[in-house]
């Protein structure tokens, strides 16, 4: 037998060492203790002060490290979200990766016309249906910001569209605390009550502080209401290197992590044990265009570093992939999306969102979602690594086949080729003549055909029944006052 044998079952990757993480964490603690954060929510402010924080002006709160350590001790390292089909498919814990969309895109690339336009209610339903059909996308954020409903309550209508289009788990947004409460009530209506939601949470709530170091009234309303109902909180700073954070990568991480930890402390003060997902969209500001970049190497590096920090802290992490700064679904979009998907998977991030974004987070593309699904499938095969055992080494097979032989008809090939050799669905591997006879279709054309096919033929399982849809629509109308 072999001794002292080490095996890499999957690919191994990390950006930061433990020592580097401890340096960044120490800097974040220093920021919270020496500089503090601005708390624009009265209940949140009082919770922090009563919990041991200090304030000289009634606005800026300085949070001592013992409060952070206490919050880390009560925050769960495992969070589970379930779809409305009851499947607890989204397990958020160390190195479990899940891919999904992003939210609140004002523009939508119409798959029929190819034109960029404002996002509509039906576009969110369509995006949800596409995600429901794609096997490698695990959760759904709205992929749009609906513009054809009352603006003040758009989030409730948006959630209805999400419910109608997919049975997979959700991460939602809300305009304010009441918006979250209403969507929670809608979810309880679908599931059958609060007890059912607590047993199998249907969604997590996305909330953002304002980098640097400002925690708004509405963001903290969402944190506090989520903690009250045990709704998992996805608290996401979005600092940009050179813009709302120092230009150095370590400075971005230290400042952004300080904001994250402030939100963590508040969630645990309100209700210890509340599920908390850290992370964000940590990226750079393009100094020529002032664009908040979605395709930059800085985003890939910073988000992978955040995954290292989250695993060190034993907290689930929200990350980013499958997005681009390109204005259309083109070669640039494919390059930037593919690299980010690989990096996010290698990092072991848990909720990997924004897949399908184009135009630096302004426009949603359904064709991009199809490409992302294919890329995630490919990357998952890479992440499986190389199996090394007696069966896979195949010495007996090599002996049986002999020198100069071929393996196409060998039973070993038949038994293992499906698990060893990845097979694409939309990527092309035909010979040139066959490709031409099939219409000489580009990747973009094949992705569009897949989208149209899904929209015409796919239905989520289970379909949201007409009675429940009617009740939810009446709920939204009552809020709108119509």
Q: Which residues of 192-213 are buried (b: 16+ CB within 10 A; e: fewer)?
A: eeeebbeebbbbbbbbbbebbb
Q: What is the pLDDT of residues 129-147, one digit of tens each?
A: 999 999 999 999 999 999 9
- What span, in angstroms and rounded, lies between the C-alpha atoms of 253 and 354? 20
| % pLDDT > 70, the chain | 100
Q: What is the pLDDT of residues 411-420, one digit of tens each?
A: 999 999 999 9
- Position 6 confidence tier, pLDDT thresholds 50, 70, 90: confident
Is the pLDDT assigned to residue 7 strictly greater than 90?
no
Is the pLDDT assigned to residue 3 strictly greater than 80?
no
pLDDT at 10: 84
- Position 85 confidence tier, pLDDT thresholds 50, 70, 90: confident
Is the pLDDT assigned to residue 4 strictly greater than 80?
no
Q: Does domain 73-383 fall into CATH 3.40.50.1100?
A: no
Is the pLDDT assigned to residue 482 strictly greater than 90?
no
Considering the chain, tell me which residue range(s) the CATH 3.20.20.480 domain(s) occupy.
73-383
What is the average per-residue pLDDT within 378-407?
A: 96
Q: What is the pLDDT of residues 148-177, one digit of tens each?
A: 999 999 999 999 999 999 999 999 999 999
Q: What is the pLDDT of residues 49-67, one digit of tens each?
A: 999 999 999 999 999 999 9
252-255 — which CB contacts under 8 Å span 24+ positions? 252/282, 252/302, 253/24, 253/282, 253/302, 253/305, 253/306, 253/309, 254/24, 254/27, 254/28, 254/31, 255/28, 255/31, 255/211, 255/212, 255/213
pLDDT at 145: 98
Is the pLDDT assigned to residue 335 strictly greater than 80?
yes
pLDDT at 1: 63
Is the distance from CB of 202 to CB of 83 less than 8 angstroms?
yes
Is the distance from CB of 254 to CB of 261 less than 8 angstroms?
no
Q: What is the pLDDT of residues 288-308, one digit of tens each?
A: 999 999 999 999 999 999 999
Q: What is the pLDDT of residues 265-291, one digit of tens each?
A: 999 999 999 999 998 899 999 999 999
pLDDT at 9: 80
Residues across the chain: 482
pLDDT at 11: 83
- Give burial (CB, 10 Å; 0-12/13-18/19+) of 352: buried
Which is more confident, 175 or 12?
Answer: 175
């Amino acid at each position: 037998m072999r001794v002292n044998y080490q095996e890499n079952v999957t690919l191994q990757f990390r950006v930061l060492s433990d020592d580097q993480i401890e340096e960044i964490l120490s800097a974040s603690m220093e920021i919270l203790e020496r500089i503090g954060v601005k708390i624009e929510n009265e209940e949140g402010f009082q919770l922090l002060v009563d919990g041991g924080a200090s304030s000289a002006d009634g606005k800026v709160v300085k949070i001592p490290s013992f409060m952070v350590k206490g919050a880390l001790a009560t925050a769960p390292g495992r969070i589970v979200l379930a779809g409305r089909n009851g499947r607890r498919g989204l397990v958020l814990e160390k190195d479990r990766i899940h891919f999904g969309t992003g939210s609140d895109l004002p523009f939508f690339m119409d798959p029929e016309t190819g034109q960029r336009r404002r996002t509509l209610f039906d576009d969110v339903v369509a995006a949800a249906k596409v995600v429901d059909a794609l096997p490698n996308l695990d959760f759904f954020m709205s992929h749009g910001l609906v513009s054809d409903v009352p603006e003040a309550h758009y989030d409730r209508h948006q959630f209805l569209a999400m419910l109608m289009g997919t049975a997979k788990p959700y991460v939602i947004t809300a305009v304010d605390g009441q918006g979250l409460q209403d969507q929670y009530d809608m979810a309880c209506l679908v599931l059958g009550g609060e007890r059912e939601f607590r047993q199998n949470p249907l969604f997590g709530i996305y909330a953002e502080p304002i980098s640097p170091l400002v925690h708004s009234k509405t963001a903290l309303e969402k944190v506090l209401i989520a903690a009250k109902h045990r709704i998992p909180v996805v608290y996401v700073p979005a600092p940009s290197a050179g813009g709302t954070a120092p230009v150095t990568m370590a400075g971005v991480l230290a400042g952004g992590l300080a904001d994250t930890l402030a939100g963590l402390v508040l969630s645990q003060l309100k209700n210890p044990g509340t599920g908390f997902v850290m992370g964000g969209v940590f990226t750079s500001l393009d100094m020529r265009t002032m664009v908040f970049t979605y395709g930059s190497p800085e985003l890939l590096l910073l988000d992978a570093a955040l995954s290292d920090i989250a695993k060190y802290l034993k907290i689930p992490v929200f990350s980013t992939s499958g997005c681009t700064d390109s204005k259309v679904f083109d070669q640039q979009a494919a390059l930037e999306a593919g690299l980010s998907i690989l990096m996010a998977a290698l990092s072991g991030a848990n909720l990997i969102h924004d897949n399908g974004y184009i135009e630096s987070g302004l426009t949603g593309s359904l064709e991009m979602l199809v490409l992302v699904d294919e890329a995630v499938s490919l990357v998952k095969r890479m992440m499986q690594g190389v199996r090394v055992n007696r069966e896979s080494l195949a010495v007996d097979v090599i002996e049986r086949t002999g020198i100069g032989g071929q393996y196409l008809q060998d039973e070993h090939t038949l038994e293992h080729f499906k698990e060893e050799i990845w097979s694409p669905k939309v990527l092309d591997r035909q010979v040139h003549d066959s490709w031409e006879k099939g219409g000489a279709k580009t990747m973009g054309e094949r992705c569009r055909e897949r989208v149209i096919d899904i929209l015409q033929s796919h239905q989520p399982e289970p379909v949201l029944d007409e009675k429940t849809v009617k009740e939810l629509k009446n709920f939204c109308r009552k809020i709108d006052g119509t």
